[in-house]
Structure 1
Amino acid sequence: MKTQQEWVKELGLEPHPEGGYYVRKLASPHTTTVNGNERPLYTSIYFLLTSNNPSHFHQLKSDEVWYYHAGHALTVHELLEDGSYTTTEIGPDTAKGELLQYVVKAGSIFGSSVNADDSYSLVSCMVSPGFDYRDFTLFTQAELLASHSNHPEIIKELAFETLPE
């Protein structure tokens, strides 16, 4: 199995503002209009998370499909509008209920963490309509504790105390 450093170098991955490493690989040549702005119909990235560098809680205005590729399984953590919290395992062991692909619905507040110490997970994430930073919101711990106070442990684990610059 390749190391996380080998994947980062081979795929040309860069740090992502929400955590982990990414590179944009695909964008549809076809477009649609969203809130008065033209967007590709879809975009797709390679996304590598590590046990020390998770995807912090954020929200998108589009659906995002996650596809497992390599490494250990990861958990997608979702804080739902009704105040509940749910998890989904994405990974290679389908016999244990892990999924090879999963859709995070538009509007869900979510983050992801790798399920093994000192390890990584490599996935692809496809967003439709295509990703645009204008449709991306990162959250602080204080913001999420105000709206989802029943889940302080995961919020403190996957939300920033202060947003990165």
Structure 2
Amino acid sequence: MITKEDIIAHLCLEPHPEGGYFYQSYVSEAVVNDKQLFTSIYFLIESGNISHFHRISSDELWYYHAGNAITIHLIHSDGHYEQVKLGMNLAEGEVPQFLVPAQTIFASTVEDDSSWSFVGCMVAPGFTFEDFELFKAADLLPLYPEHESVINKYAL
């Protein structure tokens, strides 16, 4: 059985600034408006190593690959909070892929102790760190005080 250590080693995953581990697996050669058409990464997250609240300027499509379900926490531009489970337990409402819309503030976690999740993420137009915003709780609390408990849990 494959372990998270196997995935990290074999796919050359490195720590991501938002949390978890990643490897950029593809960058499109096609360019639109001075950006790659799309980019794709492998992403592994484990319990206790969350992906903190952040935002990018493009759509991000997530694909479940292995491990436990991953929870994506979203604060939409209208202030609505949503939680989505990415995984294969369809009878329990998990989904195998999910789109995080551009400009949505989001974080991701693995809720079960001692567990991990391995996913893929495709960003279109392509991801650049110039379009990446990582949030501290102090940044988000004045904007979304109704989500204080979630913000304190998943923001830096």
Q: What is the TM-score with the length of structure 1 in the denominator?
A: 0.92
What's the CA shift for 1:151?
Answer: 1.1
RMSD of aligned Cα (Å): 0.9
Please list, as runs of the form range in 1=range in 2, the aligned pairs for 1:41-52 lying within 5 A after superposition.
41-52=37-48
What's the CA shift for 1:153?
Answer: 1.4
What's the CA shift for 1:108?
Answer: 0.4
Q: Deviations over 1:46-83 (max 9, x none)?
A: 00011111110000100000000000001100112222
Show the counterpart of 1:163: none
Q: SS where residue 142 of structure 2 aligns?
A: helix
Show the counterpart of 1:130: 126
- 2:46 aligned with 1:53: no
Show the counterpart of 1:29: 29
Show the counterpart of 1:10: 10
Please list, as runs of the form range in 1=range in 2, the aligned pairs for 1:106-145 lying within 5 A after superposition.
106-145=102-141
Aligned identity (percent) is 46
Instruction: State how many pairs are aligned.
Output: 156
Query: In 2, Cα distance between the equivalents of 1:148 and 1:48?
Result: 28
Letter in 2 for 1:156: N
Query: In 1, Cα distance between the equivalents of 2:95 and 2:65?
Result: 11
Q: Deviations over 1:60-118 (max 9, x none)?
A: 10000000000000110011222221111100111211100000000100000013111
Q: SS where residue 22 of structure 2 aligns?
A: strand
Query: In 2, Cα distance between the equivalents of 1:42 and 1:78?
Result: 22
Query: In 2, Cα distance between the equivalents of 1:137 and 1:92?
Result: 30
Show the counterpart of 1:155: 151
Structure 1 ranges of 4+ moved more than 3 A: none
Query: In 2, Cα distance between the equivalents of 1:65 and 1:101?
Result: 7
Q: SS where residue 140 of structure 2 aligns?
A: helix
Letter in 1 for 2:42: Y
What's the CA shift for 1:150?
Answer: 0.8
Query: In 2, Cα distance between the equivalents of 1:4 and 1:20?
Result: 11
Query: In 2, Cα distance between the equivalents of 1:122 and 1:10?
Result: 13
Show the counterpart of 2:95: 99
